[in-house]
Amino acid sequence: MTASLDRRLGLTDAVVVGLGAMIGAGVFVAFAPATARAGSLVWISLAIAAVVAVCNALSSARLAAQFPAAGGTYVYGREMLGPLPGFLAGWGFVVGKTASCAAMALTVGLYIWPEHANLVAAAAVIALTVLSVAGVQRTATVAKLLVAIVLAVLAVFLVLAWMAPAAGSGAGAGVGAGAGVAGAGAEAVGAALAPAPAVDGQAWPARVLGVLGGAGFCFFAFAGYARIATLGEEVREPARTIPRAVVVAISMVIVVYALVLVAIIHVLGVGGVASGSAPVLEAAERLGGGEFAPVVRIAAGIAALGALLGGILGVSRTTLAMARDRHLPSRLAAVHPSTRTPYVAEICVGVLVAVIVLLADVRQAIGFSSFAVLFYYLVANASALRMDRGRRRLPAWVPVLGGIGCVIVAGSLPWQSVVAGVVVVLGGGGLVYAATRRGMVAPAGRSGQA
């Protein structure tokens, strides 16, 4: 029998893990490509992404309450839909979030020391891997510190932004604001996200497509609440704690993102946000002579560290669950006797991500990661729809709306991201499943449904 993880996390710990995973680099870079696609209708993009995220979060929360085990939607899909859908969800999460972890690590390097971004990224990955192996309680404590710093900096930024004069409302307002301290790091991060020009003034079909495309980029900034569910085996009173933590975390993030979007448009204008690369940094350059911009730049790096830490936690727990079923090498299911963490999975994930950031430019993997995560949540919503109504405690339209939203937003991503997602998640996942199926260990029963 495989060793289980210890339940050491309370409600605050779970909320902070979710916040750290969501309030990552996305808030500092995602609004630029979203506004470039949606123009002045970026508010609708943010609203669409928020609705889809809330539906996904509610479905995941109810599933996590019924199946409080490590692995998240891999476990839910396996139990409610069958082994193949569960495996594809887990596979998509592992490969998609591994790419996202590498992108977040590189973002840390680009913001903190652009000239040596890859080395800084690899060092950050190794340091956070060691931290995660040391114990989930220590990890949650560090996550609290990172989240507190980022929220404090964003609060000061919001106050300064509203004290500043409003930008002009023309399409070109604010263009070129990011030439100073935002500099090399911000430009390098934003360049990989730069999409088509803003659609203001075009026909409505183009504007609708632009809004949906913007929602895809906004959704990237929301992705992260699944970390709470993947820690289901390490949360105290999971049936009560996880749903509350998910709702609190997603609600706080929606408020923060809406306030930040209002602030950057106030300072830069719609055109300035759309044409920039890292609008929060670029707006900070305009406040008080630019003295606050270096602080925001450091906060962006810290936020990316928080997202990276959450990513390592999520990927390692899903890897652990898949290894228990022999879809991955069984050694990855090992649990450390004293720290009670899946240390082999954590070390392997950390080493893999460190190697990737040293050898490849993974910034363009964000679109692929978004597709993989949207597929993951599609399986989560389908699993929630299969739950007994009394256990689901949600109207059926919540998982239905969440699933439809996942399909629409995924389809609105750049075609390269969609093709890569289909090939790697469905094609590659199907091949791996077929190759490992014979060695698969049957789950110990569906006790969670009893």
Distances (CA, A) of 423 to 99, 300, 406, 416: 15, 32, 18, 11
Average pLDDT value over all residues in the chain: 83
Nearest alpha-carbon partner for 24 in 124, 163, 166? 124
* pLDDT at 130 (0 to 100): 94
Confidence tier at 362 by pLDDT (50, 70, 90) = low
Q: What is the pLDDT of residues 95-145, one digit of tens each?
A: 988 988 888 888 888 888 888 889 999 999 999 999 999 887 788 888 889
- The whole-number pLDDT of residue 207 equals 84
At residue 235, the 3 state secondary structure works out as strand
User: 74, 72, 68, 70: which is closest to 91 by C-alpha?
Assistant: 74
Angle at 433 between CA 428 and CA 438, to 5 degrees: 150
| Strand, coil or helix: 412 | coil
Say what the pLDDT of residue 438 is.
65
The count of other CB atoms within 10 Å of the CB of residue 118 is 18
Q: What is the pLDDT of residues 23-75, one digit of tens each?
A: 876 788 789 888 988 999 999 999 999 999 889 988 988 888 888 877 889 99
> What percent of the chain has pLDDT above 70?
85
Query: May I ask the CATH architecture of the domain 11-123+135-307+362-437?
Result: Up-down Bundle (1.20)
Q: In whole angstroms, how large is the CA radius of gyration of the chain?
A: 21
- Give the tens place of pLDDT for each residue, 385-428: 999 888 888 899 999 999 999 998 888 777 888 898 899 999 99
Per cent of the chain over pLDDT 90 is 36
Look at residues 110, 134, 53 and name the one whose alpha carbon lies nearest to residue 309. Answer: 134
- Predicted confidence (pLDDT) per residue in 237-286, tens digit: 887 888 888 888 889 999 999 999 999 999 999 988 988 878 898 899 88
Angle subtended at Cα 346 by Cα 18 and Cα 375, rounded to the nearest 5 degrees: 55
DSSP conformation class of 440: P
Report residue 440's pLDDT band, with 50, 70 and 90 as the boundaries. low
Query: What residues does each domain of the chain span?
Result: 11-123+135-307+362-437
Judged against a pLDDT cut of 70, whether residue 181 lies above it is answered with: no
Task: Give the mean pLDDT of 167-182.
Answer: 44
Tokens 């490590």 -> residue: 70
What integer pLDDT is reported at residue 448 of this predicted model?
A: 39
pLDDT at 3 over 70: no
Give the pLDDT band (50/70/90) at residue 171: very low
Q: How far apart are CA 261 and CA 438, in angstroms?
A: 50
178: pLDDT confidence band, cut at 50, 70 and 90? very low
| Listed residue (101, 186, 65, 12) closest to 357, CA to CA | 101
